[in-house]
Amino acid sequence: MAERRVNVGWAEGLHARPASIFVRAATASGVAVTIAKADGAPVNAASMLAVLGLGAKGGEEIVLASEAADADAALDRLARLVAEGLDELPETV
């Protein structure tokens, strides 16, 4: 299993707009990804309700994980999106 630990870069945390950006990117990654708070149970990263339900705040550590064989690049891209609080994920990332 591939895993990335990253601190949430959006000041408002993973709420509304940032969660929507993240969920779209996770869905577009083409691999099954989970997201969890450092001490919590993982949820489907492609589910808006599940991501909102985490209540992840700005600066809080989250864990992105996947069991897919080709997940490393997708997790790297998602980790950068979250850590930098990007408004969208550049194609070259």
In the block, tokens 């299993």 appear at 1
Q: Is 15 a catalytic residue?
A: yes
Q: Which of 7, 9, 15, 50 is catalytic?
A: 15
Residue 47: partners with Cβ closer than 8 Å, 6 or more residues away = 23
Q: What is the set of active-site residues?
A: 15
